[in-house]
């Protein structure tokens, strides 16, 4: 409840090592080898009751909350084609048009000139961008936060208000009975609500209903892919709801945190900008995903941003098999829950070297091919591993590959107050706002 769980777990790892007892039957780990062992395809570790709190629609599971391995694997196989982009027409174009809407919003309302400073909360505007992008990819219709410059339906505010409760229940799953009680259910978000999470729940239900029945709408978007690959109407509703929440919150954090490190590290800013301005002479506008992959320093900055500030800091605990496990000389009793220490891993000096606490994109341009491949395999755990790997990784990278290039191509960006750059709170995912930037036109 302090909002600093990510830092406390990191400090515990620094003091006690890569496997730390953090509760009566809970361990946390920042050992990449153990994380691979737990999440591997043939692992005997199971999901813990932590995942029950991820049932955002209280009436049904989604691919994140589903604890039955067979049902979980079945859902993943039906959804992977949509997430990969193979089944979504003009996926990259949908990202592009929302990036252009973001740039247009800054130009219209927040472009500063000498003597007329117009700071804007970059943290909140990025959330508008990721919400519009994921809803556009999901339904072929964006929520419309960027054109209206508003938290439509009061969704963002509602999510931020309710994340502490989600964090509490996921950390102490025995409290889940509260959410199951009939009294509490009367006060939970409803699809009939006009605002907040209930309003988004209603939108997801309506959009799913449009695709089923004799007159079902056929569209080649994410939801259309889910339907074509066999999701039921109820499953489609639940999965698109998860998409909106997970696909907007985590990508927004990756963009905000990486941008913070860019604008507060002058040598990184200047080197990245030089690469962007040189590439701007020949690349498309907006830059294509393929073109962005060919810019080495941009890729190094994106990787270093994900490393230094992993977007998800939830424990996501797994349960050791009944017979227990032995790990590097340590006996782990059967039934022990082991959680992911995200910031402990991102600052693990055994993996990243003595400067693990330093934002230094150059680390991704040094070393042998084998050393870089080993680092990338650890970085990849930001998106999970094996059977629990995030399905949305491909979409997140498309957004990241484009957003920094286009913002710096069009604007000079500076922090308004270097003594207070943002308000940051950890709720498993991050709530970040009051990140005030100044944008001026780049000639």
Q: How far, in Å, CA of 420 to CA of 287, rounded?
A: 32
Give the end-to-end CA distance of the chain in Å, rounded to a whole number: 46
CA 351 to chain CA centroid, Å, is: 23
Q: Is residue 426 part of an annotated ligand binding site? A: no
Let me know: does 433 contact 124? Beta carbons within 8 Å: yes
| Helices within 309-392 (DSSP H only) | 342-346, 349-352, 369-379
Contacts of 67 (CB under 8 A, 6+ apart): 46, 47, 49, 51, 52, 61
Pairing state of beta strands 423-427 and 429-433?
antiparallel
Q: How far, in Å, CA of 229 to CA of 231, rounded?
A: 6
Q: b/e string for 52-66 if b means 16 or more Cβ within 10 A?
A: bbbbbbeebbbbbbb
Q: How far, in Å, CA of 108 to CA of 105, rounded?
A: 5
Single out the residue of 183, 230, 198, 186 nearest to residue 211, CA to CA: 230
Let me know: does 75 contact 63? Beta carbons within 8 Å: yes
Q: How far, in Å, CA of 325 to CA of 331, rounded?
A: 6
Let me know: does 242 contact 63? Beta carbons within 8 Å: yes
> 220, exposed or middle or buried, with CB in 10 Å at 0-12, 13-18, 19+?
middle
CA 273 to chain CA centroid, Å, is: 25
* 3-class DSSP state of 321: coil
> 177, exposed or middle or buried, with CB in 10 Å at 0-12, 13-18, 19+?
exposed
Single out the residue of 95, 93, 124 nearest to residue 109, CA to CA: 124
Single out the residue of 104, 50, 106, 88 nearest to residue 219, CA to CA: 88
Q: Could you tell me which residues are annotated as the binding site for heme?
A: 390
- Known binding-site positions: 390
């Amino acid at each position: 409840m302090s909002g600093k769980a990510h830092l406390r777990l990191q400090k515990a790892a620094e003091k006690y090592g890569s496997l730390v007892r953090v509760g009566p039957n809970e361990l946390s780990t920042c050992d990449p080898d153990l994380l691979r062992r737990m999440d591997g395809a043939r692992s005997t570790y199971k999901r813990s009751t932590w995942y029950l709190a991820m049932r955002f629609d209280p009436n049904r599971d989604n691919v994140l909350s589903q604890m039955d391995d067979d049902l979980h694997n079945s859902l993943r196989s039906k959804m992977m084609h949509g997430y990969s982009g193979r089944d979504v027409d003009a996926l990259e174009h949908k990202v592009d048009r929302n990036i252009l809407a973001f740039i247009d919003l800054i130009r219209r309302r927040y472009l500063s000139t000498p003597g007329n400073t117009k700071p804007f909360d970059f943290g909140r505007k990025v959330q508008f961008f990721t919400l519009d992008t994921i809803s556009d990819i999901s339904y072929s219709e964006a929520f419309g936060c960027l054109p209206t410059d508003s938290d439509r339906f009061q969704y963002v505010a509602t999510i931020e208000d309710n994340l502490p409760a989600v964090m509490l229940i996921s950390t102490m799953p025995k409290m889940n009975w509260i959410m199951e009680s009939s009294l509490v259910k009367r006060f939970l978000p409803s699809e009939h609500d006009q605002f907040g999470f209930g309003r988004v729940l209603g939108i997801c239900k309506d959009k799913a209903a449009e695709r089923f029945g004799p007159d079902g709408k056929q569209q080649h978007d994410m939801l259309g892919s889910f339907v074509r690959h066999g999701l039921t109407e109820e499953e489609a509703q639940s999965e698109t709801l998860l998409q909106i929440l997970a696909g907007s919150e985590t990508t927004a954090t990756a963009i905000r945190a990486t941008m913070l490190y860019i604008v507060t590290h002058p040598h990184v800013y200047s080197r990245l900008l030089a690469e962007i301005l040189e590439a701007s002479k020949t690349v498309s506008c907006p830059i294509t995903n393929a073109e962005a992959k060919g810019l080495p320093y941009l890729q190094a900055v994106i990787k270093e941003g994900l490393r230094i500030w992993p977007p998800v800091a939830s424990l996501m605990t797994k349960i050791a098999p009944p017979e227990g496990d032995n790990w590097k000389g340590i006996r782990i009793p059967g039934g022990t829950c082991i959680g992911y220490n995200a910031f402990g891993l991102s600052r693990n000096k055994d993996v990243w070297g003595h400067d693990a606490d330093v934002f230094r994109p150059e680390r991704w341009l040094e070393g042998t091919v084998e050393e870089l491949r080993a680092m990338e395999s650890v970085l990849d755990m930001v998106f999970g591993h094996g059977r629990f790997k995030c399905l949305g990784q491909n979409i997140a990278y498309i957004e990241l590959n484009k957003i920094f290039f286009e913002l710096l191509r069009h604007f000079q960006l500076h922090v308004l107050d270097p003594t207070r750059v943002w308000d940051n709170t950890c709720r498993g995912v991050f709530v970040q706002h009051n990140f005030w930037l100044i944008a001026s036109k780049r000639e």
